Structures are given as structure tokens and as C-alpha cells.
């Protein structure tokens, strides 16, 4: 019997959060995508509980943020306590430069379900459950993926294969990419409870050398506990039996607990030696694994999807050469490595079981927190978190401009639009290339050829004007007319955009679809800056196809 074969632009192996986010990003631009998953349904065991502002911004880009936030606790504090419950430090960031709170609790299975449901919007995206990949072949022109299903074999042929198949990735092993790093010798028990028996908000990290633990209040009255296990002392490996025993000191005596999920984990700190090999790419846990201490495993995978999504789209639509995909590895691998190192360092600080080491840490943390406000604020505002900052790849950062903002995420304040409404800036631009200019139409500074290239990208031109009035004033007191299909005029209602332009001494900004600043300049250098960006994005210049507005 012949094997059934289907053709797609991209095949994604793994229906986890990274694969689902990537499929949404590709699907919204009309690409034909197959998500193949060996399981018969989404994973429902306990997983990530921390979602950050960058991830929520990506969910906003795929128009799912309104549904996602139903399963999110915004601005969740992280409070570190010693063995007696005395506070050592806290993370309580107040700033929201990217349009969303920086630290939030969430329930991953429910959010993954939102991402899966989002794919139903796109007839060009299909999800194949119960399809176990058995092999694949990259012949340089396409990738053929063989799968085994309950009904027999099926083959997929795609321009690109993306492995989102987890830390044990068979795709990573097949292409011979290393997975450098360490796996912890210590195991952790992770438990989710229904009808939260504590009813305490926020996240508490118990830095108790007798047994480090975490207790988190989640949406829908769910309580998460995480406990370090000491298997060398003969502790049982039965997750549910261990959970009931370890929770006894924390829950009210005699109160029954409803365990939703329980699972044992080992912390890993590993990064793949490359995120791309021919027409095969790695993302999410297949590309990197990190301990839970910063809650960045889920979010780092999302950054992969955000970075890779628009690049695959540009290549598939003929807007850029395939060399653009190499910048995915150039940009993402160093940042993922930095996140892994931070998570490792945090874990060593928070979870020592040596009582002398833990006691010294407690004294140091309390003294610094009281006597050195800058240290306290550094932790509270999460300034230690490595932000994506790309000096190489699909960005242009002039050698003579060390302070150029190119390679960093652009801010996302609220703006007033021409219809008088208030919107987040990304919603005005859309998931496309953006060109922003302070108090002027940015099209005025480009020649005809450069405008042709920008229009081929379906670029959105944004004129930012000073708000100059209170939100309660009549909107018609300020001229905000003049929008057309490719351009928008917005008002800087809270002064954040003006402050940004002042601080960076630039008036024109080129934004990638993932909101990384591709380049920035004074208007007299607009053409040269875009040309430099176009070279680093490997844009197709001759007979360049016109992108379809999305």
C-alpha cells in the first residue's frame, strides 16, 4: 500500500507552546503549515507558571491576548523567604515598557489550548494528532518527513522542518547537533491543586535548606507547589503519595486537597550547538533547557517563535533570501544561553541545602535589602533579566554609534489614533515592518526605489505627534487626520514616545515584525540606514514580489 503524502510550506513537529505560537504566526500570513504531534491531545501535566511581557506581546501580535489573559494573574509578585518565612527579597516590577506587566502567573495547559484554538482561524494550518515522526530527509530543496499513525504511514514534504519536539528532541539528535550543558542530580516534585487550600496570592520561593520549595497562587483557584526531593534518603517516587506528604506542613490540617496534576522533574541547563542545520531548525525546549528559577523556559521558547516566524514568512514569500534564517541562530542562541546561565545562577543562590551557606545568604540578602536600596530595586524591577540585544544578525548598528538602539525591543505605549480611540502601538502597526518618524511623515525621507522596497514589505508608516492635551480633552482639538492604507498618524498621549526619541537622539526608527529595532537614524540618513538593514535582512531587491496586507 502506498504511503499518503502531503505538501506544506513548513512542518512543525511538536504541539507545545513554541510550536503552536509559531504556527499561529505563520498561519496569519497565509503560509501552509502542518503541526504533527505524536500524542493524541495537548499535554495536561504541570508545566510553566510564569509568562512575561514579551510573550504577552507575541500573543497580542497573533490576536489572542484577550483570550490568554483570562488565564493570567497580572503583576504577580515573587517573594523570597527564609526557612522561618521572613522575607529576603522580592520581585515586583512596576514598569511596563512593552505594553504588558513584566511578571505574570498563568496556567500553561489552558493557554496552550487558546493557542491551539487560534489555529482554527486559518484554513491553511492543519494539526495532525497521533502522528509520530519516524524519520526525515533534507535533500537541500525540501524536507520529507515520515510519520507513523494509528491508520498507517503518512509522509509530509515541506520547504522547512522546525523541531519543537522537546528536550529529548529526535530531530536535534538526527541532525547531529550537540546539547551542551548539565542536568541536575536533584529532582523536584511539581503539584497543582484545585480549590486553592491557601488562598494566598503571589509566588513564594522558600529558601529553606531543609527542603527548598515554591508556592504559587494561580488563576481559577489553582495552587502550585514545587518541592525539592531527596531520593538519596529513600523518598518515594510516587508523585501523588509524595505530594500529600510534603504538603502537610502548608495546608490546613484535616482539609482535603484535590490534586489536579503531579509530576517529577529534573532541572536541566542545556543549549543546542546550533539552532539551524540546512532546512531544519530547532526551537523551544529542543533548542534549550533551563532550570525553573527565573520562569523563562516557556518565554524563551516564545522568543524563538517570534524571531523565527517573520523570517520564515519572508523567505517563503520570496521577500528575503534563505540566508535570513541563519540570523535566527545568530540572534537567538546567545540570548538563550544568557537565560540558561541566569537561571542556573539563581538556583544556586536560592536552593543550597548546606545550612551554613544558606544562613550566610540570608544575612547578606537582608542586609543588602535594607542598607543598599539600589540592590533592592535592581531585584524588584527585574533589571537582571537579559533582554534581547542583538549586535549581529538582521539589524544595523553603525560602528560609530555605540549608543544606537538597534537590536533592542522597541517600547509599546498606548497612543491615540485618528478616530479618537486609544490603542497599543503594535495594534496600529500590525505584524509587519514598521517605520516611525517623530512629527513627520517618514515617507518624505525615502527615495522612490526605497519606498518601492518598503511597500513590497507591506510596511506601515507611522507619524508620531506630541499629545499635548489631557485624555479628557476633545480629540478634535488636535489634527490627527491623514491616515491612508499604508500610513497612520498617532498621538503620544503619555509622553513615553517623546521621552524615547529624546533619550536615543534619533527621529526615525525601522521596526521588524517582532518589534526589534532593525535600524534607527536621523532623517537625512534614512535611505542609507534602510539599505544597510535590507542587506542584513537579505531582502530581495530585483523583481521583488509585493507582500499582501495582513
Read off the pLDDT of residues 55-78 as tens digits, 9 standing for 90 and up. Answer: 999 999 999 999 999 999 999 998
Read off the pLDDT of residues 463-508 as tens digits, 9 standing for 90 and up. Answer: 999 876 444 443 333 344 445 679 999 999 999 999 999 999 888 9
The DSSP letter of residue 156 is: E
pLDDT computed for residue 374 by the predictor: 63
**Burial of 536 by CB count in 10 Å (0-12 exposed, 13-18 middle, 19+ buried)?**
buried
pLDDT computed for residue 385 by the predictor: 66
299 φ/ψ angles, rounded to the nearest 5 degrees? -70, -35
Residue 372 three-state SS: coil
Domain boundaries, the chain: 4-70+102-179+269-349, 414-536
The larger pLDDT score, comparing residue 85 to residue 233, is at 85
Closest to 450 measured CA to CA, from 396, 528, 511: 528
Chain centre distance of CA 124: 24
CA separation, residue 386 to residues 90, 104, 168, 496 (Å) = 18, 17, 26, 22
Instruction: For residue 178, give every residue at least 6 positions away whose Cβ sits within 8 Å of its Cβ, in sequence order, or none.
Output: 272, 273
pLDDT computed for residue 471 by the predictor: 40
- Mean local confidence (pLDDT), 170-177: 97
Global pTM reads 0.91
Check pLDDT > 90 for residue 424.
Answer: yes
In CATH, 414-536 is 3.40.50.2300: no
Question: By the 8 A CB rule, do 468 and 478 touch?
Answer: yes
Instruction: For residue 130, give every residue at least 6 positions away whose Cβ sits within 8 Å of its Cβ, in sequence order, or none.
Output: 37, 38, 39, 40, 149, 150
CATH superfamily of 4-70+102-179+269-349: FAD/NAD(P)-binding domain (3.50.50.60)
Same CATH topology for 4-70+102-179+269-349 and 414-536: the answer is no
Chain centre distance of CA 30: 22
- The C-alpha atoms of residue 229 and residue 243 are separated, in whole angstroms, by 11
Amino acid at each position: 500500500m502506498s504511503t499518503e503524502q502531503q505538501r506544506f510550506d513548513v512542518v512543525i513537529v511538536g504541539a507545545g507552546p513554541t510550536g503552536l505560537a509559531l504556527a499561529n504566526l505563520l498561519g496569519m500570513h497565509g503560509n501552509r503549515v502542518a503541526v504533527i504531534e505524536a500524542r493524541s491531545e495537548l499535554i495536561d501535566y504541570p508545566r510553566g507558571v510564569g509568562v512575561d511581557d514579551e510573550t504577552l506581546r507575541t500573543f497580542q501580535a497573533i490576536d489572542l491576548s484577550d483570550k490568554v489573559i483570562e488565564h493570567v494573574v497580572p503583576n504577580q509578585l515573587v517573594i523570597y523567604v527564609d526557612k522561618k518565612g521572613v522575607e529576603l527579597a522580592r520581585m515586583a516590577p512596576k514598569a511596563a515598557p512593552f505594553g504588558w506587566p513584566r511578571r505574570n502567573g498563568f496556567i500553561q495547559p489552558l493557554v496552550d489550548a487558546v493557542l491551539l484554538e487560534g489555529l482554527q482561524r486559518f484554513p491553511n494550518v492543519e494539526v495532525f494528532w497521533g502522528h509520530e515522526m519516524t524519520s526525515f530527509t533534507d535533500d537541500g530543496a525540501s524536507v520529507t518527513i515520515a510519520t507513523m499513525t494509528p491508520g498507517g504511514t503518512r509522509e509530509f514534504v515541506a520547504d522547512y522542518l522546525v523541531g519543537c519536539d522537546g528536550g529529548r528532541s529526535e530531530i536535534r539528535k538526527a541532525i547531529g547537533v550537540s546539547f551542551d550543558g548539565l542536568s541536575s542530580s536533584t529532582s523536584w516534585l511539581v503539584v497543582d491543586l484545585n480549590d486553592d487550600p491557601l488562598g494566598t496570592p503571589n509566588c513564594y520561593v522558600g529558601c529553606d535548606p531543609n527542603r527548598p520549595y515554591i508556592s504559587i497562587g494561580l488563576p481559577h483557584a489553582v495552587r502550585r507547589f514545587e518541592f525539592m526531593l531527596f531520593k538519596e534518603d529513600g523518598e518515594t517516587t510516587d508523585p501523588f503519595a509524595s505530594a500529600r506528604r510534603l504538603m502537610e506542613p502548608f495546608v490546613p490540617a484535616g482539609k482535603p486537597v484535590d490534586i489536579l496534576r503531579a509530576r517529577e522533574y529534573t532541572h536541566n541547563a542545556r543549549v543546542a550547538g546550533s539552532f539551524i542545520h540546512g532546512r531544519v531548525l530547532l526551537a523551544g525546549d529542543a533548542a534549550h533547557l533551563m532550570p525553573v528559577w527565573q520562569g523563562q523556559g516557556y518565554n524563551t521558547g516564545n522568543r524563538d517563535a517570534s524571531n523565527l516566524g517573520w523570517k520564515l514568512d519572508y523567505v517563503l514569500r520570496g521577500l528575503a533570501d534563505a540566508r535570513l534564517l541563519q540570523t535566527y541562530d545568530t540572534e537567538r542562541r546567545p540570548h538563550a544561553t544568557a537565560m540558561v546561565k541566569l537561571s542556573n545562577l539563581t538556583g544556586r543562590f536560592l536552593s543550597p541545602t548546606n545550612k551554613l551557606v544558606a544562613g550566610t545568604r540570608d544575612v547578606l540578602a537582608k542586609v543588602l535589602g535594607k542598607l543598599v536600596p539600589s540592590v533592592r530595586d535592581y531585584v524588584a524591577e527585574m533589571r537582571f533579566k537579559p533582554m534581547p540585544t542583538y549586535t549581529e544578525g538582521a539589524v544595523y548598528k553603525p560602528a560609530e554609534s555605540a549608543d544606537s538602539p538597534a537590536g533592542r525591543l522597541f517600547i509599546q505605549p498606548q497612543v491615540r489614533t485618528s478616530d479618537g480611540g486609544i490603542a497599543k502601538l503594535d495594534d496600529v502597526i500590525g505584524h509587519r515592518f514598521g517605520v516611525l518618524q517623530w512629527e513627520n511623515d517618514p515617507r518624505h525621507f525615502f527615495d522612490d526605489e526605497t519606498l518601492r522596497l518598503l511597500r513590497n514589505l507591506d510596511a506601515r508608516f507611522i507619524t508620531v505627534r506630541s499629545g499635548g492635551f489631557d485624555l479628557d480633552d476633545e480629540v478634535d482639538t488636535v489634527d490627527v487626520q491623514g491616515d491612508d492604507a499604508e500610513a497612520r498618524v498617532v498621538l503620544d498621549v503619555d509622553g513615553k514616545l517623546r521621552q524615547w526619541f529624546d533619550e536615543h537622539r534619533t527621529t526615525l526608527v525601522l521596526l521588524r515584525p517582532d518589534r526589534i529595532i532593525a535600524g534607527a537614524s536621523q532623517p537625512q540618513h534614512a535611505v542609507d540606514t534602510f539599505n544597510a538593514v535590507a542587506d542584513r535582512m537579505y531582502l530581495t531587491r530585483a523583481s521583488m514580489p509585493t507582500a499582501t496586507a495582513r
